[in-house]
Structure 1
């Protein structure tokens, strides 16, 4: 099952609203469960470099079914995922990517946001997920 176009657009709208509330310009990407781009927006004034980062954050969250910040914690030197950012054509391992999970606990996609601090990126991504999915993700063997 994939995130629908309507769900993706709803997530984008909520993330845009949160970006506007924070007064920041963001790039926001939603991918389906195959990590293929479903919807994307680059706000006026958002950095061009954030386009790739937002998409890769969404893909990273989808590939591993966990927040990109969690992957970042696990990929520090000496960690069990050290070096993982070099896989899959390049991953992003800092906050701003969140899986989208349906009410049955099934991964249906992910959202990735880039353009501000990682705290703001995560907050904007969470706003997008909150309107269409679960933010309390099911247990995963790598989650702590």
Structure 2
């Protein structure tokens, strides 16, 4: 698999979904080691959304979970409470990050930021569903 080509296609799908939702976002894809593969910010997306999208992608790639599902696990008294404070603060449990898998193995993570956490989740999930339709 050519990860850069895959990342470009995913970013295009995210942008298309964000345009439909009328929410400018940033999208980031990192590999399973946390290395940046692609980062894109739509016109009008907040500048800070670049950093947040990268942190969401990093978190989902390295932890292997959707970031929205991590939120409940990082609350006081929960098993991953310390996660946001390790790794130089790179782990981000805000919704909008999704691990990318092939044959049950995580190979990358995608992060979307620019709207509310709920909007970011909806945009990335819609983009991934569209990708699955095309692949089928």
- TM superposition score normalised by structure 1: 0.85
Count, aligned residues: 131
Q: Which moved more, 1:5-14 or 1:123-132?
A: 123-132
| Match of residue 93 from structure 1 | 93
| Match of residue 12 from structure 1 | 11
Work out the CA distance in 2 between the residues paired with 1:48 and 1:5: 23
Q: 1:111·1:128 contact (CA, 8 Å) conserved in 2? A: no
Over the residues paired in the alignment, what is the CA RMSD in angstroms?
1.5
Q: 1:20: how far off?
A: 0.3
- TM superposition score normalised by structure 2: 0.90
| Match of residue 116 from structure 1 | 115
Q: 1:127: how far off?
A: 3.0
Q: After the TM superposition, which parts of structure 1 deviate over 2 Å for at least 4 consecutive aligned residues?
A: 127-133
Q: 1:60: how far off?
A: 0.5
Alignment of structure 1 residues 1-144 onto 2, 5 Å: 4-90=3-89, 91-102=91-102, 104-132=103-131
| Match of residue 136 from structure 1 | none
Work out the CA distance in 2 between the residues paired with 1:126 and 1:3: 22
C-alpha change, 1:71 and 1:121, in structure 2 (3 Å) is same
Q: Tell me, what secondary structure is at the counterpart of 1:71?
A: helix
C-alpha change, 1:117 and 1:69, in structure 2 (3 Å) is same
Q: 1:27·1:54 contact (CA, 8 Å) conserved in 2? A: yes
| Match of residue 142 from structure 1 | none
Q: 1:131: how far off?
A: 4.9
Q: 1:98·1:129 contact (CA, 8 Å) conserved in 2? A: no
Work out the CA distance in 2 between the residues paired with 1:25 and 1:3: 27
Stretches of structure 1 lacking an aligned partner (at least 5 in a row): 134-144
